[in-house]
Structure 1
Amino acid sequence: MNSLSRMLEVLTLFKPSQPVIDIELICAQLGYTPASAYRYVRELGNAGLLVKMPRGYAVGPKVIELDRHMTQFDPLLSASRDIVGDLVAQTGLELLISELYGSTVITILQESGSNDARLNFGRGTPMDLFHSATARVILAYLLPRQLRKHFDGASAEELRLVGSNWRDFSKVMLKIRKDGYCVSEGELDAGKTGIAAPIFDEKQRILGSITLAGNTERVNAFNREFLSGLITDAARKITARIAG
């Protein structure tokens, strides 16, 4: 890992239970020397990515600027906004646009058609690749060597959702690819069901996913073929726009 990667890794320490970090915590959790930790927070502070607080360092204002830029100009969001609005109006369900980031899936756009559809997770909340249709439909389209790596590194609880051995896991992934969508129920939110389809980049590499989600009772009120048709068609349109 080079110096820049080590410096940026400091930003991964922020979480709801850890809104402020300090030099001691950086050294303890990342194994950096105090000299390196001080240098990294100074450089991150100069870039506006960290701000000094009485108890340590918090996320800086540059992050808000970047978030605003992403909201307005991100290619995936630009290609999907009108489609998102149409699906939300047509179904009244929650709609998520999510993107693959390393071994994590993060929702970058979340719109709701009704209050009862509101999810407890959403924009900015990281998800592992095994839980929920949103993430699992992305997992299914990774390269074989990537799939094997994630399977080998998965916990027993994660494998419970997709098969505890490689053969069963492969069958689950193959079925998702054959169907072109994935369905999950109550995996991240009790009583909520989601149906997701994959979005690809201009080279047909998996980029992210689009998900319709809401209360299971409300989702089940729709014909499953109708919802799967809506979500897969939307994913194809977004993919075509990105490629074009």
Structure 2
Amino acid sequence: MKSVTRSLRVLEAVAQHQPVTVGELTKLFGLPKSTVQRTLVTLAEAGWLRANRKDTTRWEIGARVLAVRPAALQGSSLFAAAREPMIRLRDQVNETIHLSVPDALHSMVVVDRVDCAHAVRTFHAIGDTSPLHATATGHAVLAHLAKSELDEFTAGTLKEYGEETITDPGELRAELRRVKDRGYAVNHNQYLQGVCAIAAPVLDGDGVPLAAVAASLPESRFASGLLPELGRMVTDTAAEITARHPR
């Protein structure tokens, strides 16, 4: 069982840091180089990993993972509930729409995307992760967590990604209260410079956040005067996904 757990952790690490070398993984896990190498070869033989074509000393995600991800997502009830509302929201605002889910209290993970028609647009690949405290999707989820979970989250260090990142726990709590009151969260350069987003939570029957849907756009098209209308459309979309998702 330990070898299975180790293999899964190595797979996750490659996905996050790819293309990555054996030496880098060895330092990351504190394991013998031979153990890491053996794990990589085993995963490669099964199709989960592959050597980078330009630099065969580096490892990256293999075709098996890329094939399984869309199949698993498209068979999920969340994907089925969210896809059509996301497309309609994209058509309304002509901006990129993302659906992200929380990975416990670690990060938000992009699980689906609907691109807009603009030549200049934001882009987050499926599987991309982002910090909860510095993103609109993260704030949308944090605002609906139980107090004990929020206490646990704010007890940790809140990393600064730019001047707009909220790193003070008290300020973050105040912002999350505002998010919950108005129904949507706003990210204006808090994580990636030049990238803005408006997000709202998808909730289960008990009000627990399952995911967040976001309209993401370059700062050049972001205007604070449009926020109430954009916020309403994103919130309506999240509410529709919530209603469509099986309880």
Q: TM-score, normalised by structure 1?
A: 0.84
Q: Which residue of 1 aligns with 2:31?
A: 32
In the aligned structure 1, how far is the partner of 2:46 from the partner of 2:31?
20
Distance 1:160 1:145, change over 3 A: farther
Q: Which residue of 1 aligns with 2:126?
A: 123
Q: Deviations over 1:2-41 (max 9, x none)?
A: 443322111233368641432x333222011345324433
Size of the aligned set, in residue pairs, is: 242
Shift of 1:232: 1.1
Q: Which residue of 2 aligns with 1:162?
A: 166
Q: Which of 93, 97, 100 lines up with 2:99 in the alignment?
A: 97
Tell me the amino acid that sits aligned with residue 50 of structure 1.
L
Q: Which residue of 2 aligns with 1:5?
A: 5
Q: Deviations over 1:51-81 (max 9, x none)?
A: 3564254322211211231353232221111
The answer to whether residue 214 in structure 2 is matched with residue 215 in structure 1 is no
Distance 1:68 1:170, change over 3 A: closer
In the aligned structure 1, how far is the partner of 2:209 from the partner of 2:147?
13
In the aligned structure 2, how far is the partner of 1:240 from the partner of 1:212?
19
The answer to whether residue 33 in structure 2 is matched with residue 19 in structure 1 is no
Structure 2 residue runs of 5 or longer lacking an equivalent are: none
Distance 1:122 1:136, change over 3 A: farther
The aligned runs of 1:68-87 (5 Å cut-off) are 68-87=70-89
Shift of 1:85: 1.3
Q: Which residue of 2 aligns with 1:232?
A: 235
In the aligned structure 1, how far is the partner of 2:177 from the partner of 2:98?
23
1:109 is paired with a residue of what secondary structure? strand
Shift of 1:214: 1.6
Q: TM-score, normalised by structure 2?
A: 0.83
In the aligned structure 2, how far is the partner of 1:40 from the partner of 1:145?
38
Segment drifting more, 201-210 vs 102-111: 201-210
Q: Deviations over 1:90-120 (max 9, x none)?
A: 1112211111123111212222323255114
Q: Deviations over 1:178-223 (max 9, x none)?
A: 2221112123444443110011235532121001122345342864
Q: Which residue of 1 aligns with 2:49?
A: 50
The answer to whether residue 187 in structure 2 is matched with residue 184 in structure 1 is yes
Shift of 1:228: 1.6
The answer to whether residue 114 in structure 2 is matched with residue 111 in structure 1 is yes
Segment drifting more, 138-147 vs 1-10: 1-10
Q: Which of 190, 206, 209 lines up with 1:206 in the alignment?
A: 209
2:21 is paired with a residue of what secondary structure? coil
1:195 is paired with a residue of what secondary structure? strand
Q: Deviations over 1:110-146 (max 9, x none)?
A: 2232325511444332101111212221222223222
Q: Which residue of 2 aligns with 1:138?
A: 141
